[in-house]
Structure 1
Amino acid sequence: MCVNFLNEEPSFIFYPFTREDFDSGIEATLALRDINPLITGSIFGWNVHHAPLARNAKTGSLVARVTLTTRIRCSLEAANVTLSSSDVNSWPLLITPTGWPREEETSVSTHVLQQLDLNSHVLVTNIPGKVHFRYLHLVRRRARRDETNKREIVYVAVIGDTEANVQAREARPDVRWVRESGYCIRFTEVNKTTIDVIYDRSSQCESEKHAQELFVDWAEVACRWLQRITSSKLVQSG
């Protein structure tokens, strides 16, 4: 199908994902997030696990990664409602261009392209500019039990693609498709009023400066979310 944007950004052809393509993209992302770097500091109630910049062995891209962890006085159900009731345009951007001003966030367009089930979607985001920054992303919510049988809810958003979509794209100098970025938010129930939170972010980046800009954005997103979900509740780092 042909995807058009409201503000006349360049259109493109989209081919729906198979269930296999969708699940493989999500599971590959979850596998990478089982490895957490050491704690390197703290910020606004979050422990910071900051990994050094590294090259993707397959693509050669420079990759930035950070994991933020905390414990909050909030039920698993309340945290789930807070995230699942959010509008798609309020979700964190997976990546932004280097030097991109945050005040231009209202010009970003995000659209749902495909719903595989109630908790699995394919979306597109376009960040306008002289060169449009654009990506397809896979989003999934899943309730499950962790390895210690504790209840948890896992949200995953990751840039995904298929060969059919890559081949269908017209090469344009004013559109750049981003291929590597994502996040995982994991709520694990400690008891009826407390949860542990892991917020893991990674993204391709152009330089160390770009990585620093992304880290600031990620920390701001985490802090805004924490303020929203906890209100006046006590936050415990740990």
Structure 2
Amino acid sequence: MISNMTSFSSHMSGMNTANCLLAIEETRGDPVTTQLWESAMREQVRREQQWARMKRWRKQKKEKDTGMVQERLRLEKELQRRVHQARLNPDHSPRQSIGNAFRQATLECAALTRENLALKKAIEQQTKFDSMLRLVAQEMASHVSDLSVKETQLHLEGEEGWRVNFPNDEPSFHFSPFSRAEFDRVLRESDVAYAERHPCTATVGKILGWTVDCAPLRRNESGTAFVAHATFTRRLHCSLDESQKILPRLDKKLWPVLVTPRSWGHVQTGDTSCQGLQSFHEDAHVMVCNIPGQATNLRYVALALLSREVGSDGKRVDKYTMTVAYSDASNQASENPRKGCSGSWRAAST
């Protein structure tokens, strides 16, 4: 115990070996006091070592801070020297040239960005104006076409027909008007042929929300061709009064296209052109539709009728009928090279 304490106390400052031995001799008879004294000595040594470490750390930090301050002063002096040199000789300063180039590029980039935004705004405004002008032009063309049809009917009432012109320099044709009896007969035959539901009609599925019912192929009355009959139905959340205000007043380009060529969408493309030819009343029309092609234009004359009926159950029924048909005079005109046109005609009823 004595040797251990002597060795331990030799590292302590402020207390020599004689004092340590004296303290040990005085506490030798009391083990508890000896243990407390040893703990106090260890704590004293730990504190002195911690103090020495903190002293060294503060000294190192002070030296480091002093070095950083000196380096900062040196860099500031170097910066001032170079700025002064650049001011005296700006043409031979590569760093200043790079800075000017970067600043110039930044300004040009900002200017181009502003110009790009202005151009986008101008393009959007021009596109909007073009759309409005195109819409107004279409409305005016439709109005002028309707007026020309009415004027032609008034001026040529006693003649067999008139020339019908199409936009985009497409070939015209000679149209012989339908009589009201012919108009009613064609629609009546179409209504009789397709009003009754075939007993073998079956629902085959849905397409774009429409329920499709198909009947088997059957021959026409003359036995010269087969007729395919399909019915498309869909329930709409719209009253009959509202639909009657909307559907008949749509642009004729939005009406259903009854006939399309086999190459439609692949070889033969373009906008269909529809214009009115006759109007027996506001819900009975004769119009011609033209589908432009590379070599041949496909066109047909359609009869359109809106009628309202009351079913056996007392419910109102609005019927929109469109049928492809010709009058006898129109058939002769389309076969006549002088009066016909360079196109393919379709006269089968649908």
TM over 0.5: yes
Q: Please give the TM-score of this superposition, normalised by the length of structure 2.
A: 0.48
Write the distance in 2 (CA, Å) between the matches of 1:103 and 1:91. 23
Of the two, which has the highest radius of gyration? 2
Q: Deviations over 1:20-53 (max 9, x none)?
A: 0001111111112222322222334332211234
Q: 1:102, 1:151 → 2: CA distance? A: 42
Secondary structure in structure 2 of the residue aligned to 1:30: helix
Q: Is the 8 A contact 1:94 1:181 kept in 2?
A: no
- Is 1:16 equivalent to 2:177 in the alignment? yes
**1:106 Cα deviation after fit:** 4.9
- Distance across 1 between alignment mates of 2:298 and 2:327: 18
- Residue 127 (1) aligns with residue 295 (2): no
Which aligned pairs between 1:16-95 and structure 2 lie closer than 5 A? 16-36=177-197, 37-58=201-222, 60-95=224-259
Q: Which runs of no fewer than 5 residues in structure 1 stay unpaired?
A: 183-238
Gaps of 5+ in 2: 1-161
Contact 1:136–1:161 (Cα < 8 Å) also in 2: yes
Distance 2:220 2:185 in 1: 18
Quick one: distance in 2 between partners of 1:105 and 1:83? 26
Task: Give 1:144's aligned residue.
Answer: 309
TM-score by length of 1: 0.69
Rounded to whole Å, the distance in 2 between the matches of 1:61 and 1:109 is 28
Match of 1:176 in 2: 344
What is the Cα deviation at residue 108 of structure 1? 1.4
Residue deviations 1:106-133 (CA, integer Å, cap 9, x gap) = 5211110111111111000111111211
Q: RCO higher in 1 or 2 (8 Å CA, sep ≥ 6)?
A: 1
| Pair 7,74 (structure 1): closer, same or farther in 2 beyond 3 Å | same
Alpha-carbon separation, structure 1, partners of 2:208 and 2:267: 22
Stretch of structure 1 that moved more, 54-63 or 83-92: 54-63
Q: CA deviation at 1:60?
A: 2.1
Number of aligned pairs? 182
Q: Are the equivalent residues in 2 in contact too, given 1:95–1:181 (CA < 8 A)?
A: no
- SS of equivalent to 1:107: coil
Q: Displacement of 1:59 after TM fit?
A: 5.9
Letter in 2 for 1:131: T
1:160 corresponding residue in structure 2: 325
For residues 105 and 116 of structure 1, what CA distance do their matches in structure 2 show?
32
Change (3 A) 1:13 1:59: farther
Which among 152, 164, 167 is matched to residue 6 of structure 1?
167
RMSD between superposed Cα atoms in Å: 2.3
Q: Distance in 1 between matches of 2:309 and 2:341?
A: 44
Rounded to whole Å, the distance in 2 between the matches of 1:91 and 1:102 is 22
Question: Structure 1 141/105 Cα, relative in aligned 2: closer, same or farther at 3 Å?
Answer: farther
User: Contact 1:131 / 1:173 at 8 angstroms: preserved in 2?
Assistant: no
**Do the aligned partners of 2:163 and 2:175 also contact (CA within 8 Å) in 1?**
yes
Please identify which structure carries the higher helix content. Answer: 2
Letter in 2 for 1:177: W
How far, CA to CA, are the matches of 2:312 and 2:297 in structure 1?
42
Which is worse superposed, 74-83 or 88-97?
74-83
